Amino acid sequence: MKTKIIAAIFVLTVLAGLIFLPSDKSKEAAKNSGTKIQDKIYVAVEGAGEIAVISVKDKTVIKKIDLSDEINGMKIGFMPHNVQVAPDNKTVWVTANANDKAMKMSFRFVPRAQADEGRGEKAGMKVNDEVIVIDPLTDKIIKRIEIGSDLHLSHVVLTPDFNYAIVASQAKGIIYKINAKTYEIEKEINTEKGGEPHGLRISPDGKTAYIAMLGGKSLGILDIGKMNLSYVPLKGAAVQTGVTPDGKYALASIYDAKSLAVYEIASGKLAYVDLPKEAKGPVQIYPTPDSRFVYVADQGYYFNQPAGNSIYKIDLQEMKVAETIKGGNAPHGVVVSQDGKFAYVTNLLSDDLSVIDADTGKEVARIKVGKTPNGVSLFYGEGLFVSKNNSEKDRLMIKETNLNLGNASKSEIVSRKGIHWHPELKVIIKGEAITIPANIGIGKQYADYPFYDPMMSMTDMHTHDASGTLHWEVMQGPVKKEEVRLSAFFATWGKKFDENCIFEFCNGKEGRVKMFVNGKENTEFQNYQVNNKDKIEIRYE
């Protein structure tokens, strides 16, 4: 969530894989010794078999990553359909489908993408489709995960804790759960027959993936822990999903019905926002950081539809199209910057990327990227530097700069890498369980509260529903102990809690305040330092 300002400098040798202890070099010295890692846009250029890397600042292509590989003496191209930067910005994941690069390609998507044409089966050889992992600091491939042949791997997403990648095979109807640390497939499940899973996104708590079932005309709901899948019927073919950052809605683009499905997660209610009559067929979608709007790329072009050139901005409060923005030819992929100021949209047939200014609702730049661009994702440099180490040729280092811990000592730091915790809280007053409301800490009304993130319009500690699960989310370190004390949540909730009182109930003849953590009585009360998955129970009895 919040971009943290940190003061120790960490040196990580990327190629050697060694982590050194923090040094005392200053911010200025770090800048002088290296090059700042810039924010970048990654685009899956399917027709070229490449990933285009674009500078956010300069709006130019700074590198193209060739995904081809030599297999049994033959150069085999891999055609990327989707690209996803991991939530921790340490890796970039690509669904790459095998194809003999010498063959001429004709683009087809829905229900089969371009990569399904000619699959690298030269001389009877089967080549597996892959999930490719890229290091965004060097923009080099660091891992190829072979999945299987003839799969058409459509989309890949990662859980917020960076532990798992979820991948869909559209052609075979399979969902894969990949360990993002070991790169091993931990589990796979089959979808319903003819389901054709395509796009997918994960809920903010990391527990659920919402999958667009193209053939099944449904919204797939995947329990990531149990790897169980259920379905919500839709009125048409779903291409991509989205989940609002507040966890309230799961969304799906409905291509043939030319609409957006809006599924309220807590209640299970389903509604639709129909696009204007001139719409050609929506493909990818992406909600804004404040959960108010969603951008919809109206591509068309498939199933005998003419190509579109519009991006629709839908107001999820008003449940209507708020703006129609002109883009390139056949808008396909879309992503929104973490500050909500820009949307980036790939244009399938004009071979470029549109940059949309959210304030004006206008396209402010168009960047050529290559043949038939599809997926798009954003990488944030977050104050990192890469430099040459003069003592060892070709050795790269990363330095975290802009780091200012103020007067905080090492003992006051909980985590240097951010946290994404889910403790559980119960409050019981005289035997009656008190409901902990949904959306505590979410919305601009909390702007004056401690630990508020204006980009996400929420505080670091918040709730998404009334289950009692608290969300403690700080995406960048360091995290100080004061940020994870129980008092921080009660301050956000606006309720009194200490060793003497819970709400208006205070120690006296009618009862006393007691607190239990993971089944054991705890006397730290408001000063308790919360941990992930804690079970906290506060009683007045």
Closest by CA to 195, choosing from 177, 211, 214, is 214
Same domain as 436, residue 391: no
Per-residue pLDDT of 46-89, as tens digits, reads 999 999 999 999 999 999 999 999 988 889 999 999 999 998 88
Give the whole-angstrom CA distance, residue 489 versus residue 441: 9
User: Tokens for 158?
Assistant: 């990662």
Q: State which of 20-24, 301-305, 363-367 shows the largest mean pLDDT.
A: 363-367
Same domain as 26, residue 125: no
Same domain as 224, residue 98: yes
Same domain as 482, residue 363: no
Among 370, 404, 438, give the residue marking a domain's end.
404
Same domain as 513, residue 478: yes
Per-residue pLDDT of 332-358, as tens digits, reads 999 999 889 999 999 999 999 999 999
Residue-wise burial string across 376-400, b where 16 or more C-beta atoms lie within 10 A, e elsewhere: bbbbbbbbbbbbeeeeeeeebbbbb
pTM: 0.69
Domain count, the chain: 3
- The C-alpha angle with vertex 475 and arms to 253 and 401, in degrees rounded to 5, equals 130
CATH number assigned to the domain comprising residue 535? 2.170.130
Same domain as 235, residue 134: yes
Alpha carbon distances (Å) from 70 to 52, 149, 183, 376: 21, 17, 21, 26
Among 339, 364, 379, give the residue marking a domain's end.
379
Distance between the two ends of the chain, CA-based, in angstroms?
38
Same domain as 139, residue 96: yes
- The C-alpha angle with vertex 81 and arms to 178 and 333, in degrees rounded to 5, equals 110
Same domain as 391, residue 480: no
Residue ranges making up the domain that contains 91 = 38-379
Same domain as 443, residue 373: no
Q: State which of 10-14, 32-36, 274-278, 392-396 shows the largest mean pLDDT.
A: 274-278
Per-residue pLDDT of 147-189, as tens digits, reads 999 999 999 999 988 899 999 999 999 999 999 999 999 999 9
Same domain as 435, residue 417: yes
For residue 406, what pLDDT band results from cuts at 50, 70 and 90?
Answer: very low
CATH number assigned to the domain comprising residue 175? 2.130.10.10
For residue 34, what pLDDT band results from cuts at 50, 70 and 90?
Answer: low
Look at 453 and 89; give whichever has higher pLDDT: 89
For residue 481, what pLDDT band results from cuts at 50, 70 and 90?
Answer: confident
Same domain as 435, residue 347: no
Residue 477 is predicted with a pLDDT of 64
Among 404, 437, 457, give the residue marking a domain's end.
404
Same domain as 460, residue 442: yes
